[in-house]
Amino acid sequence: MTEKKNRNKKQSKAKTSSKVSKGNFGYFRSEKRRRLIITAILFAVPLFIFFTSWFYFKTRMTVWTVVTVVGCLPACKSMVNLIMILKCRPMDAGLYQKIHEHQGSLDMAYELYMTFYEKSAYIDAAAVCGNTVVAYSSDPKIDASFMETNSQKIIRKNGYKVTVKIFTDLRPFLERLDSMNDHRESLEEGIKFTPDEKYPDLSRNELIRQTILALCL
C-alpha cells in the first residue's frame, strides 16, 4: 500500500510539472526543448556582451572579447549535450499505451538511451521486480546481448543481484510483464533490503530503476 501511495504521489507531481523527468514517457521531447532553451541562453549572453562592447569601444581588441570566448565554453558543452539528445527519437505514443496497459504495479522506466563506451542503444521500456529486470527495444541496431551483459554487470556492482533480459519482440515482453505482475510477491520474497541513506524514501526496485537511468542520457 505504501509503495502504491508513493507511486501515485510521483505521478501527480509529474502531471503538475511541465518538465518530464528521465524515465517517463515524453522525456525526450521535453528534454530537447529544455536543452535548446538553455543552449540558446548560454550563447546569447556572451554574444550580447561581445557585440555590446564592440559597439561601445569601436574595437574587438578588449578584455570583453576574452570574456566572450571563455563564456562560450559552457555554451559549447551544452550544444554537445543538445546534439546528443536530438539524436534520440521520442517513443511512439501507441507503443507506450500498449506497454503501459501491462505495467500494473511494476516499477518501470520509458524512453531510455543506454550508453556504454563501446556501444549504445535505444530502449523503449524497462521493468524491475525483485532480481528481475526486463526491457524492450524497438531499435533494429541494438546488440541485445551486449547491453544485457554490461547493464547487468553495473547494476550488480551497485549491490543488486539482478538478471537483465532485453526483448526485441513486443509480444513476449508484454507476456513477461503480465507474468511478473502475477508473481510479484514470489519474485520479491526473501530479498533482504536496507534502505539507502541518500534515498531513504526509495524502495529496492526504485533504486535499481535509478541505477538503470544513470546508464542513460
> Which of left, alpha, beta for 13 (phi over 0: left; psi -120 to 50: alpha)?
alpha
- Residues 82, 95, single domain; the answer is no
Q: Which residue has the higher pLDDT, 172 or 19?
A: 172
Which residue, of 86, 101, 135, is where some domain finishes? 86
Per-residue pLDDT tens over the stretch 35-78: 999 999 999 999 999 999 999 999 888 899 999 999 999 999 99
Residue 153 sits at φ, ψ, to 5 deg, of -60, -45
- Residues 135, 182, single domain; the answer is yes
Which residue, of 86, 106, 128, is where some domain finishes? 86
| Residues 108, 180 contacting (CB under 8 angstroms) | no
| Whole-number average pLDDT of the chain | 90
- Mean pLDDT (whole number) for 75-82: 92
Grid coordinates in use for 173? 515482453
Per-residue pLDDT tens over the stretch 5-37: 454 444 444 444 467 899 999 999 999 999 999
Domain assignment present for 8: no
- Mean pLDDT (whole number) for 116-120: 92
Quote the CA–CA distance of 165 and 163 in Å, as a whole number: 7
Give me the number of domains the chain comprises: 2
- Residues 108, 50, single domain; the answer is no
The candidate with the shortest Cα–Cα distance to 111, out of 177, 195, 29, 188, is 29
Quote the CA–CA distance of 112 and 125 in Å, as a whole number: 7
Above 50 in pLDDT, residue 4?
A: no
Domain assignment present for 5: no
- Residues 66, 153, single domain; the answer is no
The candidate with the shortest Cα–Cα distance to 181, out of 123, 108, 92, 93, is 108
pLDDT for 18 equals: 63
- Mean pLDDT (whole number) for 191-195: 89
Could you give the percent of the chain with pLDDT greater than 90? 78
- Residues 131, 195, single domain; the answer is yes
- Residues 65, 163, single domain; the answer is no
Tell me the pTM: 0.81
- Residues 209, 109, single domain; the answer is yes
Domain assignment present for 188: yes
Above 60 in pLDDT, residue 214?
A: yes
Domain assignment present for 95: yes
Domain assignment present for 44: yes
pLDDT for 51 equals: 93
- Residues 133, 149, single domain; the answer is yes
Q: Which residue range forms the structural domain that includes residue 120? A: 91-214
- Residues 81, 177, single domain; the answer is no
Which residue, of 86, 108, 123, is where some domain finishes? 86
Domain assignment present for 182: yes
- Residues 183, 99, single domain; the answer is yes
- Residues 107, 195, single domain; the answer is yes
- Residues 53, 135, single domain; the answer is no
